[in-house]
């Protein structure tokens, strides 16, 4: 147990998360600094302004990052899938709140200890930087999605984001997708209303592109009908 305090040995994302690629020794060093914690759906992982946690890796489940404006209106700015990385290292301020979308498990690394670790292990810092770059790229993907697409494309875009994030390997027709977001959360993320999201799903189901199975389950019947045109 002393040698594997975070349970890395059976970590489902050890090969793809930010910790991957570190040597055995470095990983153990890192593992000693963090702790693994589980959250239930709806729980706040950290709130805006909380600076105790510097970064975190999502081991299982799904997490949303959102902000609240002056009126207290929520705005979801990112979704995280397993192996996803939350980093606010050296940021001027932490302005996002992280909330569990489903029951989930994370490896949390406290700020002080991680900043020291990063300065002495440039490999680790490099991986953090790479992860932050990927976060930036997916923020750009989201900008693309909500900036110019109509309601249908936004909904299909979200389905594809989740399908790709929750499974490894390419998508196949018939795949069952667990969408842990409520309609309200989907709407908030996509910049739509609950009603519009619901209607789009109805349309997609009528077209035979998807089938709803229970409140959260969505079976992707024809992936090609969801993807944007490739010409």
- Footprint of DNA (CB under 7 A): 150-152, 182-184, 191-199, 201-202, 212, 215
Give the integer Cα–Cα distance in Å for 50 and 127: 23
Q: Which of 51, 93, 81, 46 is nearest to 66 (CA)?
A: 46
Considering the complex, what minimum distance in angstroms separates the CB of residue 205 from DNA? 8
2 binds, among DNA, its own copies, none (CB under 5 to 8 A by kind): none
Strand 97-100 relative to strand 63-68: parallel, antiparallel, unpaired? antiparallel
38 or 44: CB nearest its own copies: 44
Please give the torsion angle defined by the CA atoms of residues 64, 70, 71 and 72, in that order, rounded to the nearest 10 degrees. Answer: 30
Question: Starting at the edge strand that comes first in sequence, how are the strands of the sheet with 35-39 ordered?
Answer: 35-39, 104-110, 53-60, 85-87
Q: Which partner from the list its own copies, DNA, none does 92 bind, CB cut-off 5 to 8 Å by kind?
A: its own copies
Nearer of residues 8 and 197 to DNA, judged by Cβ = 197
Distance CA 108, CA 5 (A): 12
Cβ atoms of 56 and 106 within 8 Å: the answer is: yes
15's contact among DNA, its own copies, none, with CB below 5 to 8 A by partner kind, is none
| Alpha helix segments (H runs only) across the chain | 24-33, 111-120, 122-148, 151-166, 183-190, 194-206, 223-226
- Interface residues toward its own copies, by CB under 8 A: 67, 69-71, 73, 75, 77-78, 87-92, 95-96, 118-120, 122, 125-126, 128-130, 132-137, 139-140, 142-144, 146-148, 190-191, 228-231
| ∠ CA 55-61-62, rounded to 5° | 70
Identify what 90 binds: its own copies, DNA, none; CB under 5 to 8 Å per kind.
its own copies
CB of 75 to its own copies, least distance (A): 5
Q: How far is the CB of 208 from its own copies (least distance, A)?
A: 24
CB of 118 to DNA, least distance (A): 39
Of 122 and 202, the one with the shorter C-beta distance to DNA is 202
Least distance between DNA and beta carbon 152 (Å): 6
- Report the Cα 121 to chain-centroid distance in Å: 26
Residue with tokens 């999502």: 58
Which of residues 134 and 213 has its CB atom nearest to its own copies in the complex? 134
Q: Which is nearer to its own copies, 170 or 215 (CB)?
A: 170
Closest CB to DNA among residues 23, 147: 147
Taking the CA of residue 194 as centre, how many other CA atoms within 13 Å lie in the half-sphere pointing to its CB?
5
Token pair of 67 as six digits:
């902000």
CB of residue 133 vs DNA: minimum separation in angstroms?
30
């Amino acid at each position: 147990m002393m040698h594997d305090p975070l349970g890395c040995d059976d970590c489902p994302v050890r090969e793809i998360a930010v910790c991957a690629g570190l040597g055995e020794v470095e990983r153990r060093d890192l593992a000693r600094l963090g702790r693994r914690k589980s959250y239930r759906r709806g729980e706040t992982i950290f709130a805006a302004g909380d600076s105790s946690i510097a970064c975190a890796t999502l081991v299982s489940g799904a997490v949303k990052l959102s902000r609240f404006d002056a009126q207290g209106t929520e705005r979801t700015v990112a979704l995280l899938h397993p192996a996803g990385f939350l980093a606010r290292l050296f940021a001027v301020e932490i302005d996002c709140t992280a909330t569990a979308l489903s029951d989930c498990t994370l490896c949390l690394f406290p700020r002080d200890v991680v900043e020291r670790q990063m300065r002495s292990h440039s490999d680790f810092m490099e991986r953090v930087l790479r992860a932050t770059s990927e976060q930036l790229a997916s923020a750009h993907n989201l900008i693309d999605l909500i900036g110019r697409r109509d309601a249908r494309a936004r909904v299909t875009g979200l389905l594809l984001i989740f399908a790709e994030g929750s499974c490894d390997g390419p998508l196949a027709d018939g795949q069952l997708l667990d969408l842990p977001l409520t309609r309200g959360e989907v709407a908030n993320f996509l910049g739509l209303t609950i009603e519009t999201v619901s209607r789009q799903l109805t349309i997609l189901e009528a077209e035979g592109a998807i089938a709803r199975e229970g409140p959260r389950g969505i079976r992707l019947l024809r992936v090609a009908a969801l993807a944007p045109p490739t010409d």
